[in-house]
Each structure stands twice: as C-alpha cells, then as structure tokens.
Amino acid sequence: MALTETLEDYLQAIFHEENEKGMARVKDVAKKLAVRASSVVEAVNRLKEAGYVLYEKGDFIRLTEPGQEVAQRTFERNLVVYRFLDQVLGVEPEHARKLTCGIEHHMDRQFFDALSALCFFFERNSDVQEKFRRFADSYEKGMICDMYATLDQFGKGDTLKVIKVSGDAFLRQRLIAMGLTPGQEIVIERVAPLGDPVDVVLRGYHLSLRKEEAKCIKVEKI
C-alpha cells in the first residue's frame, strides 16, 4: 500500500533512530519529529497494519523487511534531492533541508534516476557547474536576457539578430539611435587587429563598437 507523506516521515525517523542508536523508541521518535508520543503510537500502529514495522506497547519499534526497503528508498531520495538543492542549485542548507522534506515524497523512480544522473553530471563537470551558477546568479537578478548570447561572443562573418539592448540609459539610447533596435539584423564584418573593437554592418552602414559595448547587445545567431 502507498504511504501518506506523514507516515513516510515516521518511517524515516524510525529508520534513522535504528541506524544511529541500534533501536527506535517511541519517546525518541517523538522528540525527533517534535510531536507527542501518542501521535507516534498512532502512526506506528498504522505502519504495523501495513506491515512495515513490528511494535508492541512498551517495546522498541522495529522495521520489517519491506519497511526497511521503503525507508531506505526514501532516504536515498532525500539524499539526492538535498544534494541537488545544495550542490547544483546552491540553496542555503537550512532551506534545502526543508525543501527536501517536501519534495522527496513526490518522486517516482524515473525522476529519481534522472535527478541522480544530473547531480552526477554536474559533479563530473565542475566547469559546467561553475558556468551554470554564474548564469543562475544573473538570472536571479532579473537579467533574464542572459539566456541569450551577447554580440561580443561572436566572430567575423556571423549574421545575428538583435534581441535586446541593455546597459545604462545613455549607452542604450546611443545604441538604439544608431539603429540597433530589437529584431534588426547585423553582420559582423571584421574584428580589429588587436581583437577589439568589432565592425558590424547594419542598415547599410558600418559601425564599430568596443567589446564592452557589444556585451550589452543580446543577439541570436541566424
């Protein structure tokens, strides 16, 4: 039978108590989950009905084999979700723990496998991880357009479409007045001998821009 989220939490708590102390007592489980002992007894009785634990009044709580299995699985999910939040997304540990408690109950096998793979992938590719973090940072700061590349990232001969012009008011106004409006097609004609500035063609004329300015122009390659 499927367990409710609360029961899963109880199972988890019992699992941890057993692992840490070798046995799980009602008192300790209540303390761990910050609930009354009577609530624990009630939950344990329902877990017993489902066949996940063995329990007699005044005795320890013991996980049955299916109980072990379910608890183990939940624990693994918990770990993977926490790792994802903490290491990949960079969520604060305390907040990550809270979120994990919610998310772990809603995972199926497929999600679990995919998430594990993702965590593993980021662990193996720390440069990608780093890049992603930077991207996420600016994304959070509202610079949604960082999803697009900027003009300075392209080279000679590339034909691009302007998506957006950012930068301070002065710069933006300047660039727009020169015809770099969203949707405008531009071609990178050449790059200066020392790598900066670039020469682009738009609206039938040549315009040179420093990379500093080109960084403010979000583009899409055509």
Residue 222 engages other proteins in binding (rule: CB under 8 A): no
Residue 212 engages other proteins in binding (rule: CB under 8 A): yes
Give the count of beta carbons closer than 10 Å to the beta carbon of residue 151: 23
Member of 37, 114, 117, 192 binding other proteins (CB under 8 A): 192
Whether residue 10 contacts residue 40, with contact meaning beta carbons closer than 8 Å, is answered with yes
Member of 38, 45, 125, 173 binding other proteins (CB under 8 A): 173
Member of 39, 64, 129, 181 binding other proteins (CB under 8 A): 181
What separation, in Å, do the N-terminal and C-terminal C-alpha atoms of the chain show? 54
CA 131/CA 126 separation, integer angstroms: 9
CB-nearer residue toward other proteins: 44 or 214: 214
Member of 37, 95, 182, 221 binding other proteins (CB under 8 A): 182
CB-nearer residue toward other proteins: 119 or 217: 217
Q: Which stretch binds other proteins (CB under 8 A): 53-61, 105-113, 130-138, 190-198?
A: 190-198
- DSSP string across 84-99: IIIIIS---HHHHHHH
User: Least separation, in Å, of the C-beta of 142 and other proteins?
Assistant: 13
Q: Which of 135, 141, 210, 133 is nearest to 171 (CA)?
A: 210
CA 70/CA 200 separation, integer angstroms: 62
User: Least separation, in Å, of the C-beta of 18 and other proteins?
Assistant: 55
Member of 97, 149, 174, 187 binding other proteins (CB under 8 A): 174
CA 123/CA 26 separation, integer angstroms: 39
User: Least separation, in Å, of the C-beta of 9 and other proteins?
Assistant: 43
Query: Percent helix, strand and coil across the chain, each rounded to 5?
Result: 60, 15, 25
Residue 171 engages other proteins in binding (rule: CB under 8 A): yes
What are the residues binding other proteins (CB under 8 A)? 164-165, 168-179, 181-184, 190-197, 199, 203-210, 212-213
